[in-house]
């Protein structure tokens, strides 16, 4: 232990007593050093690598403060550069500028790298923070903001990379929905619905024909392919909101959406033919030429006559 000299003649400082000098002498003795070493070794023997270090505790504490804080609240805080003074509450823009300014001091660390690190990191502290951010759907607000900034289509620029990214992801979603009713029905949650949509020639009966309802089939499609139906409704751009609009002479966009879905599923897998069988029987009953039925079969709207025999 080092004993720093103290100027006893300085004003306001007490003089050292004989007890103080005796304590200093004991601290600098070999016995005292031996006692301190033994106590340190005993304390160190209780520590293990599996225990949480003070640095980890600090990280978890800071993480908890971030997760519990609200974006809408702010308070005055102590300015560390000027002890004893409080700075007024900062706006979100001011906070963002300070964070970005600090990031410029980190070598080779861009804002893009920061975002990727947050959501791709395997660090438990960072991963927990990202999971909580995603669990309450906060990312949807951020994605809406990105879409407003980069996703809009104009007359002079009908497409862009953001819109293409959204469409590609939407295509993957509707492809998965269609596969669960067709070629990958065993892997999906709608296997029983997929079996209903597959009709063999030996299973066609009067009861099957009489039970066919276009709106019953639409209800099945809306339950099993909700994202595809949302896209079709947006593309058609109109639905019947009032029953007064329904009459025999008016075109039914819902019936057309049902047929469009049936065509998509049949073109993906010819065994998904429930609607096509009904169409073929209707054409056969009205003595439509076989060549026309063959043409419609190529479009996914009907089945061939041999499949009905």
At 186-214, the pLDDT tens digits run 999 999 999 999 998 888 889 999 999 99
pLDDT mean across residues, the chain: 79
pLDDT of residue 9: 43
pLDDT-wise least confident of 45-54, 79-88, 159-168: 45-54
Q: What average pLDDT does the segment 255-280 reach?
A: 96
Could you give the percent of the chain with pLDDT greater than 90? 56
Rounded average pLDDT over 35-58:
44
Report the C-alpha gap between 175 and 268 in whole angstroms: 10
Exposed/middle/buried for 40, CB within 10 Å: 0-12, 13-18, 19+?
A: exposed
**214 or 247: whose pLDDT is higher?**
214
When pLDDT is averaged across residues 132-156 and rounded to a whole number, the result is: 89
% of the chain beyond a pLDDT of 70: 67
Residue 197 · residue 265 · CB < 8 Å: yes
Predicted pLDDT of residue 18: 52
Mean pLDDT of 284-306: 91
User: Quick one: residue 18, left, alpha or beta (phi over 0 = left, psi -120 to 50 = alpha)?
Assistant: alpha
pLDDT band at 283 (very low <50, low <70, confident <90, very high): very high
- Quickly list H helices, the chain: 18-27, 30-45, 54-68, 92-103, 111-120, 124-135, 138-150, 161-179, 191-196, 206-210, 214-224, 226-236, 253-268, 274-285, 290-298
Q: Average pLDDT for residues 234-241, to the nearest whole number?
A: 77
Task: Please give the biggest Cα pair distance in the chain.
Answer: 125
Query: What would the mean pLDDT of 21-44 be, rounded to a whole number?
Result: 46
Q: Is the pLDDT of residue 269 over 90?
A: yes
pTM of the model: 0.68
Q: Which residue has the higher pLDDT, 72 or 253?
A: 253
Residue 25 scores a pLDDT above 70 = no
pLDDT given for residue 3 in this prediction: 46
């Amino acid at each position: 232990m080092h004993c720093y000299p103290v100027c006893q003649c300085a004003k306001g400082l007490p003089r050292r007593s004989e007890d103080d000098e005796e304590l200093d002498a004991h601290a600098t003795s070999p016995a005292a050093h031996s006692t301190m070493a033994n106590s340190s070794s005993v304390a160190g023997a209780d520590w293990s690598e599996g225990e949480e270090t003070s640095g980890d505790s600090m990280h978890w504490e800071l993480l908890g403060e971030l997760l519990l804080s609200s974006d809408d609240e702010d308070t005055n805080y102590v300015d560390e550069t000027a002890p004893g003074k409080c700075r007024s509450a900062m706006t979100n823009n001011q906070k963002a500028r300070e964070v970005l300014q600090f990031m410029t001091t980190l070598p080779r660390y861009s804002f893009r790298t920061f975002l990727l690190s947050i959501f791709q990191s395997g660090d438990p502290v960072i991963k927990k923070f990202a999971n909580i951010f995603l669990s309450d759907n906060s990312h949807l607000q951020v994605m809406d903001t990105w879409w407003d900034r980069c996703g809009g289509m104009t007359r002079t620029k009908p497409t862009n990379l953001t819109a293409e990214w959204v469409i590609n992801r939407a295509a993957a979603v509707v492809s998965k929905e269609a596969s669960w009713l067709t070629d990958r029905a065993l892997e999906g949650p709608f296997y029983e619905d997929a079996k209903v949509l597959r009709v063999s020639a030996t299973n066609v009966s009067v009861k099957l024909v009489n039970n066919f309802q276009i709106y019953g089939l639409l209800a099945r499609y809306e339950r099993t392919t909700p994202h595809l139906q949302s896209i079709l409704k947006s593309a058609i751009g109109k639905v019947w909101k009032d029953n007064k609009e329904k009459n025999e002479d008016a075109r039914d966009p819902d019936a057309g959406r049902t047929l469009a879905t049936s065509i998509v599923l049949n073109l993906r897998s010819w065994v998904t033919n429930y609607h096509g069988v009904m169409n073929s029987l209707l054409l056969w009953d009205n003595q439509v030429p076989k060549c026309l039925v063959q043409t419609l079969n190529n479009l996914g709207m009907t089945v061939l006559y041999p499949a009905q025999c």
